[in-house]
Copies of this chain bind each other. A is one copy, B any other.
Amino acid sequence: MSDEAAVLDAVAARRELIDDALVERLPIEEPERLYHASRHLIDAGGKRLRPAVTLLVAEALTGIEPPNADYHAVPTLDGADTGSVGIGASESTGTGETIDVMAAAASIEAIQSFTLIHDDIMDADDLRRGVPAVHQAYDPETAILAGDTLYAKAFEFMLEADARPERTVEALSELARTCTLICEGQSLDVAFEGRDDVTTDEYIHMVEQKTAVLYAAAARAPAVLLGADDATADALYQFGLDVGRAFQIRDDVLDLTVPSEELGKQRGSDLVEGKRTAVTLHARQQGVNVEGLIDTDDLETVDDAAIDAAVARLDDAGSIEYARTLSRDLVDRGKERLDVLPDSTARDHLRELAEYLVERGY
Contacts and interface: CB of A to CB of B under 8 A. Distances in A.
A145 B169 contact: no
A152 B144 CA distance: 15
A248 to B, nearest CB: 18
A183 interface: yes
A190 B156 contact: no
Contacts of A179: 148, 151-152, 155
A113 interface: no
Most buried by B among A164, A166, A176: A176
Given A168-B169, A169-B169, A141 B190 contact: yes
Interface of A: 30-31, 33-34, 118, 121-122, 140-142, 144-145, 147-149, 151-153, 155-156, 159, 164-166, 168-169, 172-173, 175-177, 179-180, 183-184, 186-188, 190-191
A177 B148 contact: no
Nearest to A152: B179
Contacts of A176: 152-153, 155-156, 159
A147 B121 CA distance: 14
The A contact surface, by secondary structure, is helix
Copies in the complex: 2
A149 to B, nearest CB: 4
B148 A118 contact: yes
Contacts of A168: 165, 169
A196 B348 CA distance: 59
Given A151-B179, A155-B155, 8 more contacts: A33-B191, A122-B145, A142-B190, A149-B180, A149-B184, A152-B179, A153-B180, A155-B175
Given A156-B173, A175-B155, A183-B34, A121 B148 contact: no
8 contacts: A31-B191, A33-B191, A140-B140, A144-B144, A148-B179, A149-B180, A156-B180, A159-B173
A260 B172 CA distance: 42
A179 to B, nearest CB: 4
A187 B33 contact: yes
A95 to B, nearest CB: 12
